[in-house]
Amino acid sequence: MSNGKPCILFQTRRLSLRYEKQQQLDLTERAFSPQKPVDTSQSVCQRDKASLLMRFGDVEEFRGLSIRLQMSNVFYESSGQWWFSLDSVSLLYNGSEEAVFNASEVYAPASSSYRCLHVSSLQRHSALLLPSTDPARCWSITFTDFQIQAFNITSGRFSPATDCTTFLTPAILMGLITSLILLLVLAYALHMVVHLKHIEHDDEHKADIYLPQHAEQLEHSCVENTEEKNVL
C-alpha cells in the first residue's frame, strides 16, 4: 500500500524454496495467511522503481528470512510505451546472507500485469530466474501461478495480463522451427504434384497435335513406295 492505495499487486498459488538438498520449504501459507499476514511494511513504490519485500521471520534454521522482488518501469521510444520488468528476486537470511536471482526475462507493458504458470530457477520450469551471486547457486525458488503488477494500478485490481507463454521460450522456438520444416516439405510436395500434372497435360496435348501428322507422313511414305514398286 502507498497513501492508502495498493501500489503493488502480487499473487501466487504456491511459493516454495529449497536450500541445497534439504527438505523443500513451502511458504505459501505464511505469505498469504489472513490470520498472520507477512510483513510487507518495508516495500517501496515509486514512479519508476518498486520493491516488494516479504519478511517471514525465522523459518527452520534460517533467521530473518525475507524475499525481495525488485521491479523497474522504463519508457522505450522504439515501442512508444512504458514497460515494467521484474529485475531480480533476492533471498535474505541470517542477517547478512543474500542470494540474488536475475529475472530479466520477466517483463510486460506497464499498462498490464504479468502472469506465468511458473517463475522458477529450475530448468524444468524454463528457469526464468538465473543465479547472479554464489549463494543463489545453493538455492532453488519456484512461484506457481505467478502474477504481479507494480505500476498503473486502478481500482485495486490486476490489469489484463501479459502471459509468459507468448514469449519465445526454447520449447516454443523448437516447435516453430519444426512447423516451418513441415510447411516447406508440404509446399515442395504440392509443387511436385502440380509439376507432374503439368507434364501429363503437355504429353496429352502433344499426342493430339503431332501423332496424326506423324501417322500421315508414314502413310504418304508407304504410298510412294507402292507406286515405285508398280513402276518397276
pLDDT (tens digit per residue) in 72-81: 999 988 878 8
- Considering only CA atoms, which of 94, 26, 87, 32 is closest in space to residue 66? 94
Task: Look at residue 47 and give its three-state secondary structure.
Answer: coil
Q: What angle do CA 101, 106, 108 make, to 5 degrees?
A: 155
Give the cell for residue 168.
519465445
Contact predicate 86/114, CB 8 Å? yes
Query: Which amino acid is present at 182?
Result: L
Contact predicate 114/103, CB 8 Å? no
Residue 231 predicted with pLDDT over 50: no
Contact predicate 40/51, CB 8 Å? no
pLDDT in tens, 117-168: 999 999 999 999 999 999 999 999 999 999 999 988 888 899 999 998 744 5
Name the pTM for this structure: 0.69
Higher-confidence position of 54 and 231: 54
- List the alpha helices (DSSP H) in 6-146: 28-32
Contact predicate 9/161, CB 8 Å? no
Give the cell for residue 152.
498503473
